[in-house]
């Protein structure tokens, strides 16, 4: 059991295929990185989806100081996969900054306590301890550059609503619980605020595990371009979003719009205060989607 903000948050280990272990929240029943496990999911969805190392090394694509936003630090599997990939492959200049956001340290504390069973945190216990205690840690990358990793411990939409500056992201690992558990993280308002934190001259790719039509519609209406991400676990596809057209390897096309969105019984965008809504898209929202530059 982990005490978080006065509330008790509990997790348990979950055995997956191949002897891999992951963790499950007992509060909401959601398993982190189901089926393929923490390492594989982090690599397939987030590292490959954002083309992390390639883009961190490329001049003009964040190569002068690449910035990663790790939204939903949780048990730090995505963040540590990035740490390992960058430590092995970074050849850029300017180093990398990683900002991890979470309103709870429950999953992180569980991952540290169960590091032997989970395996992936084992080599990083000192770094995780420093990050947890001081809110920041510096780790070496290739060529004398550094990874500057910071922790932002608060509600993510509330942080976005505050005017103070945060470095604009080039990559966003977007990994909250599902919209049923964390509705505030999947709304038009949150995605629009996040889109507003990117800069047109700094190309940004956002990766997430969902393939939900409603979430993709919400991202599009909030100003993101949206495409297909790689398969993982029980999902044959995931989602990659970008702050500019042309960045996506597999953008969703008019076919998706006309067939999938129009026909779906669950394509209405998610809006703050509306609760978990399920329903077809309205004519007005459909027309707005049609006018999106991605489908022009
Ligand atoms: C599925 S877990 C993330 C798994 C993690 N990325 C990993 O690699 O282990 C979801 C995380 O999102 C966090 N979260 C949910 N809602 C949030 C909010 N409104 N603000 C900040 N963090 C939130 C939860 O506390 C939880 O740790």
Which residue is closest in CA terms to ligand 1's atom 26?
74
Domain count, the chain: 1
- Residue 182 Cβ < 6 Å to ligand 1: yes
Rounded to the nearest angstrom, the distance between the alpha carbon of 262 and the centre of ligand 1 is 31
Rounded to the nearest angstrom, the distance between the alpha carbon of 244 and the centre of ligand 1 is 26
Q: pLDDT digit string (tens) for 185-215?
A: 999 999 999 999 999 889 999 999 999 999 9
- Confidence band (pLDDT; 50, 70, 90) for 83? very high
- Confidence band (pLDDT; 50, 70, 90) for 232? confident
For residue 162, tell me if it sits in a domain.
yes
For residue 29, tell me if it sits in a domain.
no
Mean pLDDT of 248-270: 94
Residue 107 sits in which domain range? Answer: 36-295
- Residue 101 Cβ < 6 Å to ligand 1: yes
Q: pLDDT digit string (tens) for 21-40?
A: 999 999 999 888 888 888 88
For residue 267, tell me if it sits in a domain.
yes
The chain-wide mean pLDDT, for the chain, equals: 91
Q: pLDDT digit string (tens) for 120-141?
A: 999 999 999 999 999 999 999 9
Q: What is the pLDDT of residue 62?
A: 55
- Residue 226 Cβ < 6 Å to ligand 1: no
For residue 152, tell me if it sits in a domain.
yes
For residue 77, tell me if it sits in a domain.
yes
The CATH number of the domain holding residue 96 is 3.40.50.150
For residue 153, tell me if it sits in a domain.
yes
For residue 63, tell me if it sits in a domain.
yes
Mean pLDDT of 271-287: 86
For residue 5, tell me if it sits in a domain.
no
pLDDT at residue 1 tops 60: no
| DSSP string of the chain, one letter each residue | -EEETTEEE-EEEEE-GGG-EEEEETTT-PBSSTTT-HHHHIIIIIIHHHTHHHHHHSTTTTTTSEEEEEE--TTSHHHHHHHHHHHHH---SS-EEEEEEES--HHHHHHHHTHHHH-TTGGGHHHHHHHHHHSEEEEE-GGG-EEEEEEEES-HHHHHHS-S--PPPSEEEE--S-TTT-GGGSSHHHHHHHHHTSBTTB--EEEES---HHHHHHHHHTT-EEEEE--BTTBS-EEEEESSTTS-SSB--HHIIIIIIHH-SS-PPP-TTS-S---PPPHHHHHHHHTSGGG-
Rounded to the nearest angstrom, the distance between the alpha carbon of 126 and the centre of ligand 1 is 22
């Amino acid at each position: 059991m982990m005490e978080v903000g006065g509330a008790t948050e509990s997790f348990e280990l979950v055995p997956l295929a191949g002897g891999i272990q992951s963790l499950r929240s007992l509060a909401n029943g959601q398993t982190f990185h189901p089926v393929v496990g923490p390492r594989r999911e982090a690599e397939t969805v987030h590292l490959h989806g954002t083309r992390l190392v390639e883009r961190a090394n490329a001049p003009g694509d964040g190569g002068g100081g690449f910035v990663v936003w790790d939204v939903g630090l949780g048990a730090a599997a995505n963040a540590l996969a990035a740490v390992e990939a960058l430590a092995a492959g970074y050849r850029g200049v300017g180093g990398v900054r990683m900002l991890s956001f979470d309103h709870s340290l429950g999953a992180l504390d569980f991952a540290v306590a169960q590091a032997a069973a989970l395996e992936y945190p084992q080599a990083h216990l000192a770094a995780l301890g420093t990050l947890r205690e001081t809110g920041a840690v510096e780790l070496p990358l290739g060529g004398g550059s550094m990874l500057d990793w910071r922790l932002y411990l608060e509600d993510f939409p509330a942080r976005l609503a505050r005017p103070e500056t945060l470095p604009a992201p080039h990559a966003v690992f977007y990994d909250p619980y599902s919209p049923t558990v964390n509705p505030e993280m999947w709304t038009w308002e949150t995605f629009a605020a996040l889109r507003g934190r990117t800069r047109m001259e700094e190309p940004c790719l956002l990766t997430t595990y969902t393939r939900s039509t409603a979430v993709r519609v919400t991202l599009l209406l909030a100003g993101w371009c949206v495409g297909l991400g790689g398969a993982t676990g029980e999902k044959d596809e995931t989602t990659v979003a970008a702050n500019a057209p042309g960045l996506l390897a597999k953008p969703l096309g008019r076919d998706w719009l006309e067939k999938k969105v129009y026909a779906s019984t669950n394509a209405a965008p998610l809006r703050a205060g509306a609760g978990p809504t399920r329903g077809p898209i309205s004519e007005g929202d459909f027309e707005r989607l049609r006018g999106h530059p991605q489908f022009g």
